[in-house]
Structure 1
Amino acid sequence: MKITTENIRVNFQAKEILKGISIETRDKELVGIIGPNGSGKSTLLKCIYRVLKADSGAVYLDGEELYAMNAKSSAKKMAVVAQHNYYNFDFSAREVVLMGRAPHKKTLERDNADDYRIVEEALKTVQMDKFADRSFSTLSGGEQQRVILARALAQQTPALILDEPTNHLDITHQIMLMKLVKNLDVTVISAIHDLNIAAAYCDRIYVLKDGVLEGEGTPGEVLTPELIRRIYKVESEVVYDSQGKMHILFL
């Protein structure tokens, strides 16, 4: 699926947070959004997954304007792994993942055996099947993040939106999550704060700073010492390992 934003502008208390952002994904591409804290990454993603309505501009899913479709229709096209996930009730991990099946259900339709099979597969995929009956609120931040990813997988959409998905994860599960996402064969847009994660897994990267688009291209084109100095105000060196993989060293 192709996701496009066209001249997205967002204002908050007389401050312009996003200043006309236009990005585009190709089908089944992993696109990273990078930039310093406060650059507008999460705000842009919220506009894409319709938690926040832009003051002007538009979002298109395969050429169809986002607000021309109802929320259930867009939820069949796009699943979300947000930064923060709170529930007022004491749901089990399995029940949280079952919520991902909601867009596929009619009003008051009960969960069936197929739904439960999909949920169990999603929990196994993120290595949380042994925690299925645990209360979501008792899980660590990293475990909760993996359950939320399982919920997105259970939604079975052609696109996935991730807001800094490796937050709270140890290095083992950071690599597991990014490898999993990379191999899903769906379109992915992800806000990423770790530049080495972006270098390793993104097909293309967009750079935001102060609500302005400052660069776009492949990791090799974008993640240069010059851009890193300009955007993050730090010195760096780009090196390649014995397998030809790119790494950024901060000096």
Structure 2
Amino acid sequence: MKINTEDLHLFYGAKEILKGISIQSKEKEFIGLIGPNGSGKSTLLKCIYRTLKPDQGAVYLDGEELSTIRVKDSARKLAVVAQHNHYNFDFTVQEIVMMGRSPHKKALERDNAGDHAIVKEALQAVGMSEFADRSFSTLSGGEQQRVILARALAQQTPCLILDEPTNHLDITHQLQLMRIVKNLNVTVISAVHDLNIAAMFCDRIYALKDGRIAGEGTPESLLTPEFIREIYDVEAEVVKDKKGQMHILFVE
């Protein structure tokens, strides 16, 4: 699935947060969004997954304007792993992941054997099978994030939206989560805090600064010391290991 945004503008009161954002994703492409805190990454993603409505511009799913698509239908196309996940009731891990099946079911339709098999597989994929009967609220932040990813996997959509998905995760689970996502063979748009994670997993990157697109390209073409200085106001070196993977080193 392809996702495009066209000239998105969004205001919080008198403050303009998005100032004409246009991005394009190709089929099954992993798009990264980078930029300093407050640059508009999460706001842009919220416009894509319908938590916020832009004041100007539009979001398109395979050429169809998002505002014309029923919410349930768009939920069959987009799954979301957000930064913060709070529930007013005490659900088990399995119940949380089963929520990912909701867009595929009719009103009051019961969960069936197929749904349970999909949920079991999703929990196995993120290494949370043994937590199925645990209360979601008793989990650590990192464990909760893996459960939310499992819920997104259970949704079985052609596109995944991630808002800094590796927050709260140790390095082992950061890499595990990103490898799972990379191997899904779906379109991914993800805000990424860690530039080395972005370099390792993204096919293409959009850099945001002050609500505008400041640059776009492959990790290798975009993430130069000069561009990193321009965006983050820090000094960096870019090196490659023996396998050809680039790494960004921050220096004094």
Please indicate the TM-score interval, normalised by the length of the shorter structure.
over 0.9
Shift of 1:211: 0.1
Q: Distance in 1 between matches of 2:215 and 2:43?
A: 18
Shift of 1:41: 0.2
Runs of 4+ in 1 over 4 A off after TM superposition: none
Shift of 1:13: 1.6
- Per the alignment, residue 97 of structure 2 pairs with 97
Paired residue total: 251
Residues 84-116 of structure 1 deviation map (CA, whole Å, 9 limit, x = unaligned): 000000000000000000000001111111100
Shift of 1:200: 0.4
Q: Distance in 1 between matches of 2:242 and 2:47?
A: 40
- Per the alignment, residue 57 of structure 1 pairs with 57
- Per the alignment, residue 108 of structure 2 pairs with 108
Q: Distance in 1 between matches of 2:124 and 2:178?
A: 16
Q: Distance in 2 between matches of 1:189 and 1:203?
A: 10
- Per the alignment, residue 217 of structure 1 pairs with 217
- Per the alignment, residue 153 of structure 2 pairs with 153
Shift of 1:26: 0.3
Residues 176-217 of structure 1 deviation map (CA, whole Å, 9 limit, x = unaligned): 011111110000000001000000000000000010100000
Task: Specify every segment of 5 or more residues in structure 1 that has no aligned partner in the other structure, as ranges.
Answer: none
Shift of 1:69: 0.7
The 5 A counterparts of 1:62-211 are 62-211=62-211
CA root-mean-square deviation? 0.4
Q: Distance in 2 between matches of 1:6 and 1:221?
A: 24
- Per the alignment, residue 22 of structure 1 pairs with 22
Give secondary structure in 1 for the equivalent of 2:97. Answer: helix
The 5 A counterparts of 1:26-37 are 26-37=26-37
- Per the alignment, residue 230 of structure 2 pairs with 230
Give secondary structure in 2 for the equivalent of 1:18. Answer: strand
Which letter maps to 1:105?
K
Q: Distance in 1 between matches of 2:231 and 2:141?
A: 29
Which letter maps to 2:168?
H
Residues 4-50 of structure 1 deviation map (CA, whole Å, 9 limit, x = unaligned): 00000000120100000000000001000000000000000000000
Which letter maps to 2:173?
H
Q: Distance in 1 between matches of 2:212 and 2:61?
A: 22
Which letter maps to 2:22?
S
Give secondary structure in 1 for the equivalent of 2:5. Answer: strand
Task: Specify every segment of 5 or more residues in structure 2 that has no aligned partner in the other structure, as ranges.
Answer: none
